[in-house]
Amino acid sequence: MEPAGPCGFCPTGEAQPARYTCPRCNVPYCSLRCYRAHGSCAEEFYRDQVLGELRGRSASPSRLATALRRLRQQRETEDEPGDAGLRPGPAPGGMPPEPVRDEPAAVEQVLGDLPGACPPAVPTRIPALASLSRGRTSPLVRFQLPNVLFAYAHTLALYHGGDEALLSDFCATLLGVSGALGAQQVFASAEEALQAAAHVLEAGEHPPGPLGTRGAMREAARILLGEGPANQKSYTLAALGDLAQTLGRARKQAVAPEERDRLYRARKKCQFLLSWTNENEDALTPLALDCATAHRAHTVAAEEVAALTGELEQLWGGPLPPARRTLIEELPG
């Protein structure tokens, strides 16, 4: 149900009919411009929903779905694709806020708290997106970020921050888990991008690592969420910049032309996503919400499987079903 009455942020005498309502204070607004004027309040709501969803306790599915629907409606109706009303700000490479430190695998584990690791710095020189692409950027580009960040979180945790002696193995795992980097794969949604990476791990093609599939999903969401509304893109920029440098070093060491070419393409992809993220910070919150929802769904599914397995083992009296009894036995002679 659309809000009735005029927008609460339009200039006096120019008020337009309200099309949306702030999910936190219910003030009506009409457009992206007015949403930006009230962005801090709305952004805190979406941020709370992501953190609550990641903790698996405080987020209401109906409120989360409403938040997602409002964000998508604004993306579809505004001229600027993917605009969710976040205001760009400085991007220091600091640690995450206190509310997420109670989790066992918080984002600092991936971005610098591993043994021997230093937090990757936010790149200081990022080329304009227009200088890297002549045509209009596909709206599906955004969905490559969850896939790349899932693989980054998994690989960084697996190799304890990226030992230089294991650089070749690091990049092989990274490109194997991330279809966006290793196979130029395109995704139609954040859920599809995460499931593609999760399927690689669940199929046993690469070691599961300390995070597992759910942990990597959670860390991807946290990286997208960033340090806060004013510095949201800092973690994503730091991760992509670190990936581009790592792939560049690996390419210098590679001998086979095919491997050098594959690493080159992956590095160029990271550089493109770096420029895209720098100019589309407002698309990160919807992606973080999508990742948090996928993480929660994956968690619920895993809990259901575990419960069913427990019931079957109790029924069988062990981890395997009992041997089938012979109903008709042929007598000798």
* 177-207 tens-digit pLDDT: 999 999 999 999 999 999 999 999 988 888 8
Residue type, 146: P
Mean pLDDT of 262-286: 94
* Residues 170, 160: Cα–Cα separation, whole Å: 10
Distances (CA, A) of 266 to 138, 152, 201, 245: 18, 13, 20, 11
Mean pLDDT of 110-114: 50
Residue type, 150: F
Distances (CA, A) of 241 to 65, 122, 269: 32, 7, 11
**Is pLDDT at 102 greater than 90 in this prediction?**
no
Confidence band of 294 (pLDDT split at 50, 70, 90): confident
Whole-number pLDDT of residue 4 = 61
Whole-number pLDDT of residue 330 = 66
Whole-number pLDDT of residue 97 = 34
Compute, in degrees rounded to 10, the torsion defined by CA atoms 258, 262, 267, 271: 120
**Is pLDDT at 172 greater than 90 in this prediction?**
yes
3-state secondary structure of 268: helix
* Residues 91, 88: Cα–Cα separation, whole Å: 9
Share of the chain above pLDDT 70, in %: 65
Strongest mean pLDDT among 108-117, 269-278, 284-293, 296-305: 269-278
Strongest mean pLDDT among 89-93, 128-132, 161-165: 128-132
Least confident of 91-95, 101-105, 238-242, 306-310: 91-95
State pLDDT tens for residues 11-69. 777 778 877 777 667 778 787 667 666 666 666 666 666 666 555 544 444 444 554 45
Cβ count near 62 (within 10 Å): 8
* Residues 80, 76: Cα–Cα separation, whole Å: 9
Whole-number pLDDT of residue 86 = 32
Whole-number pLDDT of residue 196 = 95
The average confidence (pLDDT) of the chain is 75
* Residues 239, 120: Cα–Cα separation, whole Å: 7
State pLDDT tens for residues 221-246. 999 988 877 788 999 999 999 999 99
Alpha helix ranges (H) inside the chain: 32-37, 39-55, 61-77, 107-110, 144-158, 167-177, 179-182, 190-202, 212-225, 234-253, 257-279, 284-316
Whole-number pLDDT of residue 91 = 34
Provide CB contacts within 8 A for 110, sequence distance 6+.
Answer: 152, 153, 156, 157, 219, 223, 239
Cβ count near 97 (within 10 Å): 13
Closest of 44, 45, 54 to residue 223, by C-alpha: 54
Q: At 271, list the tokens.
A: 């550089």
Whole-number pLDDT of residue 77 = 53
Confidence band of 260 (pLDDT split at 50, 70, 90): very high
Provide CB contacts within 8 A for 330, sequence distance 6+.
Answer: none
Strongest mean pLDDT among 97-101, 107-111, 220-224, 306-310: 220-224
Mean pLDDT of 318-326: 68
